[in-house]
Chain A
Amino acid sequence: MEITIRNSPLDVERGDTTFVLEDQGTAMTTLILTVEGFPPIQHDEPHKGSLTKTLKLAKGTYACNIFIASYRHGALGPTYKSKVTANGTTVATAEGSIGKDESERDDQEFTLVVK
């Protein structure tokens, strides 16, 4: 698995920042977004739909980390197609198919700049 970071550093306005975590693959996938200074946002049920979480961010620069793990456990296919957006802008994507292992996982960093 390889997570691709887009639009980093991303400038956002002060106040509410809305993050959306989703996966449209066939495998079982979990996404964990960690924004510096806040508890991790963990989405374990992408099969039920996307997870939307809003954080109130003060002015400053935030180091963020996105972790994605995809598990192979069945015949509906081993694919993952994950995406994370911040205020509607895509910041991270991962797309592919699980190889030999039971699970594949990766993490990447991106930066948010709150003005």
Chain B
Amino acid sequence: MRHLRHLACAALGWLLLGGTVIAQEAPKNLSSYLTDVNAGTVSAGNLVGLSESAISQIQTSQDFVVALKPLTSNQSKSGFGLALTPARTSMMPVVSSSDYYNSSSSRVLANLTFSYAENSADIANVSYRKSAFSIDTYFYLHATDDPVVAAYDAFGKCKGRKAADLADSQARIKRRAAERALEAAKSEKDEKEKEKKVEKAQNDLDGAEAVIRQAKIDAEAAHKKCVDDALRVTKWNASRLSASFGAGWIKPDDNSSSRQSLGRTTTLGGILETGEQGAAYLSLRHTSQEVDLTTLGATPQYKSSTLGAARYTYGSKDDNGKWKALIEGSTAKKSDATMTNRVFKYAVGIDAKVSKGMWLEFRLGKNRTLDGTSDQTTSLLTLNLAPSSTLFAE
């Protein structure tokens, strides 16, 4: 029931956030900037064991992500995570187009993402609830790889849209001239001459109106095609850097003791494009004040640790990496019974794009048991939703 309640909260949060966007009459094509080339990322999920991967997936330009973990095991029950990038919603458009285009610091600000995640686990026969938040940002090493920059470029270079807008502007000048001519013709004293001049002015006016109406239709269609075409070729494996700060807590479900820190985590990550279909992910995560999970029932002990990890991903050519196979490894230590060191020591996996905005992630790997006594083989399946990618799809 509790898990259902949490899932209901997640759904409610989505509806409220989505509702806010809808209430502000969000763009019909809000999804146009939302590249759907990777599963959306809920960074806080890394702190509560939602992903169990040592690699923090770098955000793509999705504005709102829900991660659900429908399949459970004894030690890691169902959890969920939410991520929101305010500047990508119409709620907080903080960066102008020129700032975004010209300034890498503005792009870092615009890509700031807030996330929250919860998960539960049984440790020494006690049920615990874990929660965490995280703040992340990233930027593309080559600005032209950024989908938003690519979209602005496509707009500026769109010949069809430019021609239609120019035709619109010139037709409006003709319309004003025709309106003036019509007024002047109406005050003509010679009836025959008046009729002739009114008819000509009216024809000019009608002609201009027709051009203006058609130009708007043509300009909007050309604009949409130009930008959509540019976004379609956005690379899923474009090189980028990321930074993240998060904190998490754990407490017994029955509130029999106070909550303990799961640590304060700083993560630096990067993706390096390796050929057309490959990407190398690197991640360095430092965690301080992280409780030793084996001491939860007694006097809690805290540790600090640094975790390095690498992943290689190979994406299919179809639909810009619809299928992805990956292999990863980390420096997780068997001796440390902390959440940080519970991530996969090594794993293989597959990501599959089920439909627009929906990704299924499967992982199989070796990690440490929660009590730190041995290694275990863990498989997990995560359904990852970026609902706004589909919510505003046309």
**B is a partner of A:** yes
Task: Tell me which residues across on chain A come within 8 A of B176, comparing CB atoms.
Answer: 65, 109
A17 at the interface (CB under 8 A from B): no
Query: Are B95's CB and A71's CB within 8 A?
Result: no
Task: Tell me which residues across on chain A come within 8 A of B61, comparing CB atoms.
Answer: 75
Query: Are B97's CB and A46's CB within 8 A?
Result: yes
- Given A28-B155, A99-B25, residue A67 in contact with residue B172 (CB < 8 A): yes
Q: How many residues of B contact A (CB 8 A)?
A: 46
- Distance between Cα atoms of A68 and B49 in the complex (Å): 51
A37 at the interface (CB under 8 A from B): no
Min distance, Cβ B23 to any Cβ of chain A, angstroms: 13
Residues 201-238 of B contacting A (Cβ, < 8 Å): 216, 219-220, 223-224, 227
Chain B window 131-168, contacts with chain A (Cβ cutoff 8 Å), 1 for yes, 0 for no = 00000000000000000100110011110011001101
Query: Are B97's CB and A44's CB within 8 A?
Result: no
- Distance between Cα atoms of A23 and B99 in the complex (Å): 11
- Distance between Cα atoms of A23 and B25 in the complex (Å): 23
Query: Are B32's CB and A74's CB within 8 A?
Result: yes
Query: Are A48's CB and B173's CB within 8 A?
Result: no
Number of A-B contacts (CB under 8 A): 138
- Distance between Cα atoms of A48 and B153 in the complex (Å): 9
Among the stretches B84-92, B240-248, B293-301, the one at the interface with A is: B84-92
Q: Which of B89, B93, B152 is in CB contact (< 8 Å) with A28? A: B152
Min distance, Cβ B234 to any Cβ of chain A, angstroms: 13
Query: Are B169's CB and A107's CB within 8 A?
Result: yes
Closest to B169 in A: A67
Task: Tell me which residues across on chain B come within 8 A of A26, comparing CB atoms.
Answer: 93, 95-97, 100
Closest to B98 in A: A47
Q: Which of A25, A40, A72 is in CB contact (< 8 Å) with B96? A: A25
Query: Are B28's CB and A30's CB within 8 A?
Result: no
Task: Tell me which residues across on chain B come within 8 A of A73, comparing CB atoms.
Answer: 27, 29, 32-33, 151, 155, 223-224, 227
Query: Are B219's CB and A103's CB within 8 A?
Result: yes
Query: Are A30's CB and B162's CB within 8 A?
Result: yes
Task: Tell me which residues across on chain A come within 8 A of B362, comparing CB atoms.
Answer: none
Query: Are B97's CB and A30's CB within 8 A?
Result: no
- Distance between Cα atoms of A115 and B62 in the complex (Å): 55
Query: Are B32's CB and A79's CB within 8 A?
Result: no
Task: Tell me which residues across on chain B come within 8 A of A27, comparing CB atoms.
Answer: 97
Chain A window 60-74, contacts with chain B (Cβ cutoff 8 Å), 1 for yes, 0 for no = 000001010101111
Q: Which of A65, A99, A100 is in CB contact (< 8 Å) with B173? A: A65
Task: Tell me which residues across on chain A come within 8 A of B158, comparing CB atoms.
Answer: 44
- Given A28-B152, A73-B27, residue A46 in contact with residue B98 (CB < 8 A): yes
A34 at the interface (CB under 8 A from B): yes
- Distance between Cα atoms of A73 and B221 in the complex (Å): 12
- Given A28-B152, A34-B173, A65-B173, residue A76 in contact with residue B166 (CB < 8 A): no
- Given A46-B98, A47-B98, residue A71 in contact with residue B155 (CB < 8 A): yes
- Distance between Cα atoms of A23 and B216 in the complex (Å): 20
B302 at the interface (CB under 8 A from A): no
Query: Are A45's CB and B96's CB within 8 A?
Result: no
Closest to A75 in B: B88
Task: Tell me which residues across on chain B come within 8 A of A47, comparing CB atoms.
Answer: 97-98, 100-102, 152, 155-156
Min distance, Cβ B88 to any Cβ of chain A, angstroms: 4
Query: Are A100's CB and B25's CB within 8 A?
Result: yes
Query: Are B93's CB and A77's CB within 8 A?
Result: yes
Closest to B177 in A: A63
Chain B window 8-46, contacts with chain A (Cβ cutoff 8 Å), 1 for yes, 0 for no = 000000000000000001011110111000000000000
- Distance between Cα atoms of A86 and B28 in the complex (Å): 36
Task: Tell me which residues across on chain A come within 8 A of B72, comparing CB atoms.
Answer: none
Q: Which of B29, B157, B219 is in CB contact (< 8 Å) with A72? A: B29
Task: Tell me which residues across on chain A come within 8 A of B30, comparing CB atoms.
Answer: 74-75
Q: Which of A24, A42, A78 is in CB contact (< 8 Å) with B98? A: A24
- Distance between Cα atoms of A95 and B384 in the complex (Å): 39
Task: Tell me which residues across on chain A come within 8 A of B168, comparing CB atoms.
Answer: 67, 69, 105
Closest to A104 in B: B216
Q: Which of B29, B173, B216, B219 is in CB contact (< 8 Å) with A74? A: B29
Q: Which of A49, A65, A74, A107 is in CB contact (< 8 Å) with B27? A: A74
A sample of 23 cross-chain residue pairs with beta-carbon separation below 8 angstroms, ordered by A number, consists of: A23-B98, A24-B98, A26-B97, A47-B102, A67-B169, A69-B165, A73-B27, A73-B32, A73-B33, A73-B223, A74-B30, A75-B63, A75-B88, A75-B90, A76-B100, A77-B90, A77-B93, A79-B93, A98-B27, A102-B224, A105-B168, A105-B216, A109-B176
Nearest 6 A/B pairs, CB to CB: A77-B93, A74-B33, A67-B169, A75-B88, A45-B156, A47-B97
